[in-house]
Amino acid sequence: MHINEQSRISRRGFIAAAGFSGGAAFLASRTLFAREEGIVPTMVNAAATAKITVRPLRRNIAVLEGSGGNIAVLTGPDGKLLVDAGFAVSRPQISSALVSINSDPIKRLINSHWHTDHTDGNAWLHDAGAVITAHENTLKRLSVATRVEGWSYTFPAAPQGALPVEVFTNEHRMNVNNTRIVCNYYPPAHTDCDISVYFEEADVLHVADTWWNGVYPFIDYSTGGSIDGSIRAAETNLAMATSKTIIVPGHGPVGGRADVVEFRDMLVAIRENVALLKKRGRSIDETIAAKPTAGYDEKWGQFLTTPAAFTRLVYMGV
């Protein structure tokens, strides 16, 4: 499938891709998120019945959409390697989706960052045979109870089997299924644990939640994220990709470099608008009322992070 075709995925398809299979659940989530409560239980409930879609990308790589963040899957003689684990309640659907690709056993899992919509499935994937790799900060965050203010939720420490056993600081390379894989740490961006995973021969780049394709991103200030870090990560992604690179976002449809340019430009423009209002002494509520995102809301403001919620996230960091 061509990247352009993937970019034109329907809104309904996108909602499913991000783990919200029904319109009602989607609307309920938005309302809850606007009040900044209940988003985590809502995400988990949606993931329990979420339909998982297998989208072949290039060579032996596919992406599974539908349970939390996008899951990349590399197959071959060394067994399956996954980037991200989705929600544990989606195990039956994810298992079926993996078997539908081929019978290779599950051998490896890389966590793109610590957030529950990317790591909740760690325990069952570990039980199924996966050795878990992640940035050292992902191990730190998962090892203790961790609060995300933006979700009004405190996650308990993960069980032992869910913890990464192979951790790194800046860069980690592996050779799996005749594919060179490079994991690179971003300085704090969406969280302080974010890594990119690049599959060299296939020219496929998974960029964690440093990119949300087509929607305003969530930024987790509680665990080291910021708007400026998010902009820096978008620049890093542009430096790593060419026009031929297939880029897998944390949320939303798979796309390419031009889509990341548009995302970066949106972040920069809204940051400027919000910073100007804050500099003039506007309070956070006055800034939201001034609608600094207005020119972007039709395209980017239709998902969980509402225009008001995103304005708040930017205001906190300028």
Which positions lie near Zn ion, rule CB under 5 A?
A: 115, 209
In whole angstroms, how close is the CB of 105 to Zn ion at the nearest point? 28
Nearer to Zn ion, 14 or 277 (CB): 14
Is there a contact between 109 and 184 (Cβ–Cβ < 8 Å)?
no
Exposed, middle or buried: residue 240 (CB in 10 Å: 0-12, 13-18, 19+)? middle
d(CA 186, CA 140): 16
In whole angstroms, how close is the CB of 68 to Zn ion at the nearest point? 9
Nearer to Zn ion, 250 or 292 (CB): 250
Is there a contact between 76 and 179 (Cβ–Cβ < 8 Å)?
yes
Nearer to Zn ion, 197 or 277 (CB): 197
- Beta strands in the chain, from DSSP E residues, in sequence order: 53-58, 61-65, 71-74, 80-83, 106-110, 131-135, 146-148, 153-155, 166-168, 171-176, 179-185, 195-199, 204-206, 246-248
In whole angstroms, how close is the CB of 114 to Zn ion at the nearest point? 8
Nearer to Zn ion, 202 or 267 (CB): 267
In whole angstroms, how close is the CB of 92 to Zn ion at the nearest point? 24
In whole angstroms, how close is the CB of 18 to Zn ion at the nearest point? 11
In whole angstroms, how close is the CB of 5 to Zn ion at the nearest point? 26
Nearer to Zn ion, 115 or 312 (CB): 115
Give the number of other CB atoms < 10 A from CB of residue 309.
Answer: 19
| Run of H or E including 297 | helix 297-300
Nearer to Zn ion, 130 or 304 (CB): 304
Nearer to Zn ion, 104 or 120 (CB): 120
Is there a contact between 50 and 70 (Cβ–Cβ < 8 Å)?
no
In whole angstroms, how close is the CB of 294 to Zn ion at the nearest point? 26
**Selection from 172, 107, 106 nearest residue 134 by Cα:** 172
Nearer to Zn ion, 56 or 187 (CB): 187
Exposed, middle or buried: residue 210 (CB in 10 Å: 0-12, 13-18, 19+)? buried
Is there a contact between 40 and 147 (Cβ–Cβ < 8 Å)?
no
Written as six digits, the tokens of 80 are 């399956």
In whole angstroms, how close is the CB of 218 to Zn ion at the nearest point? 6
| Run of H or E including 164 | none
| Run of H or E including 261 | helix 257-279
